[in-house]
């Protein structure tokens, strides 16, 4: 039974006697050992952390449950966030669960259909902004400073507190930290949260080592790699289409103190990883999620020796969120047949030989 991150990791979270221990069953997501890609890369110990298995299909639920519990504890009347889609889906779900209205600002025309459908279904008030994510986040920050509505983007410290529980789970399952953690980077909150989680567990004596943090931005939205904000970020991975990450500094800190890298991958590399993940591993992640595997493939090609290393790729969200892309980017394998046994036999038997 999913007891949720607030109960499971309450000793590591800002939980007081007055914090409601909410849960939609977030956390406790599978860490799946690679069956095909790992061995092909010479890495017998490659794992995928399936964050798409959270209640709203992304890792955002881990932090949202904490942010929402604290908002309730503090007597908030409503929450607000800007989002490329997943944060808004998560905020909308927990808002419905807690009966606390949610206002979500999303860049018009830039959010994957499944995520928009979620925010609508959960009943959030959706404000379509004629501008990108960075513009929407700026508006939300200014608005929530001026009005008594709780900001639930990852600049709210409770969000990252919840998200760090994913690092705890990796260690709980593996028995120690991995050598490398590959992760997509957008607003840079998640890489910050994982690093905090590993460090806290290390300090508590729950692991004996720390991973190298390997973060990946999309080439057209790679401000940290380029060292300057990107005014008009572009990438097929709409979740990480972000030009001025809020947690920029702490992501760089995670990179440097772990001895890792923050690098970029092209849309082609993201799509290649997206297809491989589904067709070789049976894992359907959304395109932004595939940036972690794309980064691993890129560094392997560049000579990173993975033999004897334990590697975790975080698959941050479900592929079901962006069905349009799946249908348009994967070579169609549908075959029309007449509704007869002979027709089905003819096609099938010619393909199994
Ligand atoms: N992967 C997915 C599926 C995401 O939705 C996001 C961010 C990231 C990776 C990057 O994580 O921002 O912590 O570096 N999505 C945010 C949103 C921006 O609004 O849903 P990050």
What's residue 227's pLDDT? 98
Atom 12 of ligand 1, nearest CA residue: 187
Contact 30, 296 (CB under 8 A): no
240 lines ligand 1 (CB under 6 A): yes
Q: What spacing in Å lies between the alpha carbon of 86 and ligand 1's midpoint?
A: 7
* Statement: residue 333 has pLDDT above 80: no
pLDDT grade, residue 1 (50/70/90)?
low
* pLDDT (average), residues 143-148: 97
Residue with tokens 């604290």: 70
Q: Kind of pairing, strands 180-184 and 102-107?
A: unpaired
Q: Quote the percentage of the chain above a pLDDT of 70.
A: 99
Atom of ligand 1 at shortest range from CA of 188: 14
235 lines ligand 1 (CB under 6 A): no
* pLDDT (average), residues 181-185: 98
Alpha-carbon distance 286 to 307, whole Å?
Answer: 28
* pLDDT (average), residues 232-236: 97
Q: Quote the percentage of the chain above a pLDDT of 90.
A: 94
Average pLDDT of the chain is 97
What's residue 327's pLDDT? 84
95 lines ligand 1 (CB under 6 A): no
What's residue 330's pLDDT? 72
* pLDDT (average), residues 280-307: 97
Rounded alpha-carbon distances, angstroms, from residue 100 to 76, 92, 97, 149 = 8, 9, 8, 11
* pLDDT (average), residues 298-313: 97
* Statement: residue 199 has pLDDT above 90: yes
pTM summary value:
0.97
* Statement: residue 184 has pLDDT above 90: yes
Range from 58-67, 100-109, 201-210, 325-334 carrying the lowest mean pLDDT:
325-334
Alpha-carbon distance 315 to 37, whole Å?
Answer: 15
* Statement: residue 264 has pLDDT above 90: yes
DSSP string covering 231-261:
SS---S-GGG--SS-TTHHHHHHHHHHHT-E
Return the number of other C-beta atoms located less than 10 Å from residue 145's C-beta: 8
Return the number of other C-beta atoms located less than 10 Å from residue 196's C-beta: 18
> Ligand 1: which of 67, 114, 190 to mutate, judged by most atoms within 8 Å of the beta carbon?
190
Q: What spacing in Å lies between the alpha carbon of 199 and ligand 1's midpoint?
A: 22
What's residue 243's pLDDT? 98
190 lines ligand 1 (CB under 6 A): yes
38 lines ligand 1 (CB under 6 A): no
* Statement: residue 328 has pLDDT above 90: no
What's residue 297's pLDDT? 98
Atom of ligand 1 at shortest range from CA of 85: 20
Alpha-carbon distance 302 to 264, whole Å?
Answer: 13
């Amino acid at each position: 039974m999913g007891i949720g991150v607030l109960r499971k990791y309450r000793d590591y979270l800002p939980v007081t006697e007055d914090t409601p221990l909410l849960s939609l069953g977030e956390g406790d997501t599978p860490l799946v050992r690679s069956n095909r890609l790992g061995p092909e890369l010479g890495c017998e110990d490659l794992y995928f952390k399936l964050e798409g298995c959270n209640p709203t299909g992304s890792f955002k639920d881990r932090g949202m449950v904490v942010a929402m519990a604290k908002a309730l504890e503090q007597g908030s009347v409503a929450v607000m966030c800007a989002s490329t889609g997943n944060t808004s889906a998560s905020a909308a779900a927990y808002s419905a669960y807690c009966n606390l209205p949610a206002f979500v600002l999303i860049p018009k025309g830039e959010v994957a259909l499944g995520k928009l459908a979620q925010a609508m279904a959960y009943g959030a008030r959706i404000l379509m902004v004629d501008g990108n994510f960075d513009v929407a986040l700026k508006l939300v920050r200014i608005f929530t400073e001026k009005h008594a509505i709780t900001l639930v983007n990852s600049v709210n410290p409770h969000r990252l507190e919840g998200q760090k529980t994913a690092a705890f789970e990796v260690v709980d399952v593996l028995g120690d930290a991995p050598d490398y953690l590959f992760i997509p980077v957008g607003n840079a909150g998640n890489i910050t949260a994982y690093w905090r989680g590993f460090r806290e567990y290390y300090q508590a004596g729950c692991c004996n080592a720390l991973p190298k943090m390997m973060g990946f931005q999309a080439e057209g939205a790679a401000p940290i790699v380029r060292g300057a904000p990107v005014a008009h970020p572009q990438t097929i991975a709409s979740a990480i289409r972000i030009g001025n990450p809020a947690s920029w500094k702490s992501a760089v800190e995670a990179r440097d103190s772990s001895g890792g890298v923050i690098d970029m991958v092209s849309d082609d590399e993201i799509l290649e990883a997206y297809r491989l993940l589904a067709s070789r591993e049976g894992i359907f992640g959304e395109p932004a999620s595939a940036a972690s595997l794309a980064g691993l493939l890129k560094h392997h090609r560049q000579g990173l020796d993975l033999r004897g290393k334990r590697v975790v790729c975080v698959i941050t969200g479900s592929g079901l969120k962006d069905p349009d892309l799946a249908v348009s980017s994967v070579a169609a394998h549908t075959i029309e047949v007449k509704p007869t046994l002979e027709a089905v036999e003819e096609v099938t038997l010619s393909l199994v030989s």
